[in-house]
């Protein structure tokens, strides 16, 4: 058979057909004709027959309408499938951490949960699957999550045994708090526990990006400064020098006549921290040595009696009292066979949230992640908490700005206690306040404090300030003079450029000078900037690359070899269009914070590495940072009265050092974070014009009016117009867990967060309150925040406690 078929194929190929093959071909033609005739007959007969059955069916073809229906069915099926998959994944994320996927808790897998939003930082390879983010990277060996765990015994610190307090407090067994089997939080959360579920945010949500614009860095001056200062290590003195190569740039023909003036604090009393004076201008040529008593100078150069150059230079001269103090503690360490303690640098930027650091300063964020800085993703700003209290007028005195959050770090006090104890509006009040830098100075540290934009300095805005310099080196007198005498350029109504540099450059250069001048000594410094971040969410974008340069300079200079660096902010953006969004609400409460530990310290205390890695996704706050500074003091072995000077924070007794693992199941109530500031609560959006929301809003407005009317014995009652209801912008509700909630309606209470406008000034407020719609009981938690500008509304009021709630009567013009 096979041979005949092959032979037939061969004959056909050669063009030689047999009779048999011709017969087959003719037969197939006849069959095709019969089929065609049969179809025609059936078509004609179908007109007379209602039903006709066919043995050979006609191929089915989709009509246009039917095809569209099929497309819609397919799309609907696909949408249902995607919805079911997404719901399944969300159920996994929101469920019990113990039932989470093995992928979430297995740190050895190549694919692991994205904990610090590397997917939003350029340079990282990330894949997004629906709402789940996984990261694929070769850098797992350097990330803190994958550092080897250590045993509880390794957590014991080498502290002096002479103090039972420091040994018990800073070396207590933390095995209960540090549970190595606790999985990382599910995707979409920074902290995940039974008592705190802190959501993560996408930095690039449309509600934020529509108000965001990236800006390029621009130098403040096209010319290089004509003068510079140099420090002679041999003689221990500064020299002021003219750069001769630039003389022709400033004056081509005429000779230069240059002189310098010293800048001094001008007075005592209430104006001591506000007034400065200039000495006579002392002429010099080429260069001149500066006396060791000079802290700051202002240089002026003229050509043909015309001023062509003016610039300022802050200095750090070594005073005999500083050297004597440092030398005495060096001898103490040598006698007790102790190593040099670590230095401490605190570098702060105002009003930058963790998410906005990633959004606006991605190069800075990437540098920190790449170089093993420790991030605390669950760092929540604080305010005071008043337990078991009803509505109190004093609650509205609490301002949600830099002061309360820095006071929590520097003193361990909430704002109400700090106002009573430190009295910043009274002469000598802040001078007598127990700042942590005083304790560092007492135990052999040289101290420095610098902050730009003198008009809104933390301890001077609506406050008296310091009569005596708060630190060994204090930049404020220089900046006060520079802002008066140098050319300034504004950005968002703040002094962005000051002479030939950005205002922030003076602060960071001051920090670098401290690290250079006291390289072989111990120092503590707080360096704070406002000018490129305080007033607008996009302003800090232009300083991204500049900030990386400064961080690299700290590393290249060797500063990071023996210095603990705390790089942080106080809060996110507090007002503006982004603040009205849900993302803006969370960002305001979640500032960024990174910590750097020197390599030697990490080797000596591996428990610190483990603790900071663990604390990355735990609820932390500024009081914890205060206790961390005390922990560093304990490491020096110099503190004698540990019971008093290293005691727990007065306003948060349960807060602790970040160099120990904090409890996994922390809540805001545990660590003195009021519900108004707490990001652990889960809010749901509700109908903003509901009867309950409108009623509660009217109660809140009455609460504001009562406060203003009774403020300072009704001294402002006649100056301010009572506020009235305009409309509610948005409303949210979170259930408050109470044991009798299901049985007794009188105990049914919920937490409401409401954004509302008032008349006559279109003031936008945000308030958080516990409310019982059955009994009408209301309790304001935290303060009522003002979310838009009020500087022009409240010019008749000088007190910061009432300014944001006052709408001044308009002056009559005759």
Query: 135: part of which helix (H) or strand (E)?
Result: strand 132-136
Which range, 266-270, 351-355, 462-466, 738-742, is most confident?
351-355
Q: Which residue has the higher pLDDT, 136 or 438?
A: 438
SS3 57: coil
The secondary structure of 365-402, three-state, reads HHHHHHCCCEECCCECCCCCCCCCCCCCHHHHHCCCCH
Q: What mean pLDDT do residues 553-570 have?
A: 98
Q: Calculate the CA dihedral of residues 316, 320, 325, 329 and round it to 10 degrees.
A: 90
Give which of 152, 200, 197, 201 is closest to 665, Cα–Cα.
197
Cis bond leading into 760, ω under 30°?
A: yes
- pLDDT band at 81; cut points 50, 70, 90: confident
What is the full DSSP assignment across 620-659?
B-HHHHHHHHHHHHHHHT--S-HHHHTPPPSS-TT---TT
CA distance 26 to 40: 22
241, two tokens: 């020098």
Task: Please say if the pLDDT value at position 47 is more than 80.
Answer: no
Q: Residue-wise over 16-40: b if at least 16 C-beta within 10 A, else e? A: eeeeeeeeeeeeeeeeeeeeeeeee
As a whole number of angstroms, the distance between CA 344 and CA 560 comes to 10
Distance from C-alpha of 488 to C-alpha of 510, rounded to nearest angstrom: 19
Q: What confidence tens digit (pLDDT) does each residue in 420-460 have?
A: 999 999 999 999 999 999 999 999 999 999 999 999 999 99
Lowest-pLDDT choice from 134-138, 179-183, 743-747: 134-138
Q: What crossing angle do the helices spanning 503-517 and 544-556 adopt, rounded to 10°?
A: 10
Q: Are 773 and 692 in contact (CB under 8 A)?
A: yes
- Interval 304-314 mean pLDDT: 95
pLDDT in tens, 491-508: 999 999 999 999 999 999
360: which 2 tokens?
Answer: 């606006």
* Counts of helices then strands in the chain (DSSP H, E): 23, 29
Q: Which candidate, 200, 199, 203, places its Cα nearest to that of 212?
A: 203
Q: What radius of gyration do the chain's Cα atoms show? A: 36
Kindly tell me if the per-residue pLDDT of 208 is higher than 90: yes
Residue with more model confidence, 597 or 39: 597
Instruction: Read off the pTM.
Output: 0.77
d(CA 321, CA 341): 20
Is the pLDDT confidence value at 95 over 90?
A: no
Residues in the chain: 814
User: Are 239 and 232 within 8 A, CB to CB?
Assistant: yes
What is the mean pLDDT of the segment spanning 5-34? 50
| Contact (CB, 8 A) for 342 and 562 | yes
Out of 64-78, 257-271, 329-343, pick the least confident. Answer: 64-78
Q: What is the pLDDT of residues 664-718, one digit of tens each?
A: 999 999 999 999 999 999 899 999 999 999 999 999 999 999 988 888 777 777 8
Residues 6+ apart with CB under 8 A from 590: 190, 198, 353, 354, 355, 379, 380, 381, 572, 679
Q: Is the pLDDT of residue 158 over 60?
A: no
Least Cα distance to 794 among 248, 169, 786 occurs for: 786
Rounded Cα–Cα distance for residues 11 and 581 (Å): 84
- The whole-angstrom separation of Cα 514 and Cα 344 is 11
Q: Is the dihedral of CA 358, 586, 503, 478 positive or negative?
A: negative
pLDDT at 278: 97
Q: Strand 282-284 relative to strand 256-265: parallel, antiparallel, unpaired?
A: antiparallel
Coil, strand or helix: which one is 632?
helix
* Confidence label for 6 from pLDDT (cuts 50, 70 and 90): very low
Phi, psi (rounded to 5 degrees) for 483: -65, -20
Task: Estimate to the nearest angstrom the gap between the alpha carbon of 505 and the chain centroid.
Answer: 21
- pLDDT above 90 (res 13): no
Q: How far apart are CA 520 and CA 371, in angstroms?
A: 24
Beta strand 446-451 pairing with 763-771? unpaired
pLDDT at 86 over 80: no
Percent of the chain whose predicted confidence (pLDDT) is above 90: 62
C-alpha–C-alpha distance, residues 396 and 767, integer Å: 11
* Range name among 115-124, 257-266, 770-779, 800-809 with the lowest pLDDT average: 115-124
Tell me the average pLDDT across 24-49: 50
pLDDT score at 90: 53
Tally of CA atoms within 13 A in the half-sphere of 751 that contains its CB:
19
- What pLDDT was estimated at residue 411? 98
Give mean pLDDT, residues 330-334.
97
Q: What is the mean pLDDT of the chain?
A: 82
User: What is the per-residue pLDDT for 34?
Assistant: 55
What tens digit of pLDDT does each residue of 371-397 get?
Answer: 999 999 999 999 743 333 333 333 333
Distance (Å, whole) CA 565 – CA 567: 6
Q: Give the whole-angstrom CA distance, residue 747 versus residue 745.
A: 5
Asked whether residue 182 carries a pLDDT value surpassing 90, the answer given is no
Dihedral sign for Cα 667, 672, 675, 678, please: negative
Please list, in sequence order, all residues whose beta carbon lies within 8 angstroms of the beta carbon of residue 765, skipping any fewer than 6 positions away. 700, 704, 755, 756, 757, 758, 784, 785, 786, 787
Residue 798 tokens, joined: 């000088």
Contact of 409 with 417, CB cutoff 8 Å:
no
The more confident residue out of 415 and 813 is: 415
Cβ neighbours for 430, distance < 8 A, ≥ 6 positions apart: 422, 423, 424, 459, 463, 464, 465, 466, 470
φ, ψ of residue 671 to 5 degrees: the values are -120, 35
Euclidean distance between CA atoms 358 and 41, whole angstroms:
77
Region at 695 (left for phi over 0; alpha for psi -120 to 50; beta for the rest): alpha
What mean pLDDT do residues 627-654 have?
A: 94
pLDDT of residue 814 exceeding 90: no
453: CB partners within 8 A, 6+ apart: 494, 495, 503, 530, 531, 534
pLDDT recorded at residue 710: 86
Q: Which helix (H) or strand (E) holds 471?
A: none
Six-digit token pair at 418? 């700090």
pLDDT digit string, tens, across residues 577-633:
999 999 999 999 999 999 999 999 999 999 999 999 999 999 999 999 999 999 999
Q: What is the pLDDT of residues 713-737, one digit of tens each?
A: 777 778 899 999 999 999 999 976 5
Strands 126-129 and 132-136, by their bridges, are: antiparallel
Q: Give the residue with greater pLDDT, 470 vs 576.
A: 470
């Amino acid at each position: 058979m096979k041979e005949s078929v092959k032979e037939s194929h061969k004959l056909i190929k050669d063009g030689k057909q047999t009779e048999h093959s011709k017969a087959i071909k003719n037969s197939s033609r006849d069959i095709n004709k019969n089929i065609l005739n049969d179809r025609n007959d059936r078509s004609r007969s179908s007109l007379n027959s209602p039903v006709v059955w066919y043995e050979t069916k006609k191929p089915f073809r989709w009509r246009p309408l039917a095809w569209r229906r099929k497309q819609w069915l397919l799309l609907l099926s696909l949408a249902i499938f995607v919805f079911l998959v997404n719901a399944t994944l969300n159920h996994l994320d929101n469920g019990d951490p113990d039932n989470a996927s093995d992928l979430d808790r297995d740190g050895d897998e190549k694919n692991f949960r994205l904990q610090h939003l590397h997917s939003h930082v350029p340079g990282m390879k990330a894949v997004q699957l629906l709402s789940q983010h996984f990261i694929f990277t070769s850098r797992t060996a350097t990330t803190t999550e994958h550092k080897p765990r250590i045993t509880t015994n390794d957590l014991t610190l080498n502290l002096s045994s002479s103090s039972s307090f420091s040994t018990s407090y800073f070396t207590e067994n933390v095995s209960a708090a540090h549970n190595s089997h606790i999985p990382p939080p599910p995707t979409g959360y920074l902290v995940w526990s039974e008592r705190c579920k802190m959501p993560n945010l996408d930095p690039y949500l449309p509600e934020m990006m529509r108000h965001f614009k990236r800006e390029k860095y621009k130098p403040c001056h096209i010319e290089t400064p004509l003068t510079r200062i140099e420090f002679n290590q041999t003689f221990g003195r500064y020299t002021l020098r003219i750069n001769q190569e630039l003389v022709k740039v400033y004056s081509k023909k005429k000779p230069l006549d240059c002189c310098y003036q010293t800048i001094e604090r001008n007075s005592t009393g209430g104006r001591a921290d506000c007034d400065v004076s200039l000495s006579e201008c002392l002429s010099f040529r080429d260069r001149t040595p500066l006396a060791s008593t000079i802290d700051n100078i202002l240089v002026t150069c003229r050509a043909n009696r015309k001023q062509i150059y003016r610039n300022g230079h802050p200095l750090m001269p070594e005073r005999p009292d500083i050297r004597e103090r440092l030398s005495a503690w060096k001898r103490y360490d040598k006698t007790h066979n102790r190593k040099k303690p670590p230095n401490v640098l605190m570098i702060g930027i105002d009003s930058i949230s963790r998410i906005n650091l990633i959004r606006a300063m991605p190069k800075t964020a990437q540098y920190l992640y790449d170089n093993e800085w420790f991030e605390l993703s669950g760092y929540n700003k604080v305010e005071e908490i008043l337990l078991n209290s009803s509505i109190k007028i004093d609650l509205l005195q609490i301002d949600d700005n830099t002061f309360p959050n820095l006071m929590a770090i520097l003193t361990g006090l909430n704002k109400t206690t700090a106002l009573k104890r430190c009295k910043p509006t009274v002469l000598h009040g802040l001078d007598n306040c127990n700042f942590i830098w005083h304790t560092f100075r007492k135990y052999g540290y040289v101290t420095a404090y610098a902050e730009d934009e003198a008009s809104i300095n933390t301890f001077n805005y609506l406050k008296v300030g310091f009569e005596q310099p708060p630190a060994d080196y204090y930049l404020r007198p220089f900046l006060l003079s520079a802002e008066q005498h140098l050319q300034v350029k504004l950005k968002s109504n703040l002094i962005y450029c000051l002479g030939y540099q950005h205002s922030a450059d003076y602060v960071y250069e001051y920090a670098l000078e401290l690290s250079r001048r006291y390289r072989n000594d111990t120092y503590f410094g707080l360096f704070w900037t406002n000018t490129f971040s305080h007033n607008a969410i996009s302003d800090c974008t232009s300083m991204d690359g500049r900030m990386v340069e400064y961080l690299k300079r700290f590393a290249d200079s060797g500063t990071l070899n023996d210095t603990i660096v705390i790089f942080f902010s106080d809060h996110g953006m507090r007002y503006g269009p982004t603040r009205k969004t849900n993302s803006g609400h969370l960002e305001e409460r979640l500032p960024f914070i990174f910590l750097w530990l020197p390599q030697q310290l990490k080797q000596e205390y591996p428990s610190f590495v483990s603790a900071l890695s663990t604390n990355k996704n735990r609820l932390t706050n500024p009081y914890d940072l205060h206790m961390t500074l005390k922990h560093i003091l304990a490491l020096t072995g110099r503190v004698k009265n540990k019971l008093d000077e290293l005691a727990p924070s007065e306003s948060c007794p349960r807060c602790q050092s970040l160099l120990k693992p904090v409890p996994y199941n922390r809540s805001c109530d545990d660590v003195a974070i009021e519900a108004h500031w707490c990001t652990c609560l889960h809010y749901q959006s509700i109908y903003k014009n509901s009867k309950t929301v409108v009623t509660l809003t009217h109660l809140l407005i009455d609460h504001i009016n009562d406060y203003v009317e009774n403020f300072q014995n009704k001294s402002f009652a006649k100056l301010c117009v009572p506020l009235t209801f305009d409309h509610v912008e948005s409303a949210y509700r979170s259930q408050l867990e109470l044991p009798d909630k299901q049985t007794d309606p009188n105990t049914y209470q919920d937490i409401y967060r409401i954004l509302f406008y008032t008349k006559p000034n279109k003031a936008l407020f945000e308030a958080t309150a516990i409310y019982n719609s059955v009994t009408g009981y209301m309790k304001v938690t935290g303060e009522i925040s003002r979310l838009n500008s009020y500087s022009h509304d409240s010019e008749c009021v000088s007190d910061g406690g009432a300014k944001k709630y006052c709408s001044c009567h308009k002056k009559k013009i005759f």
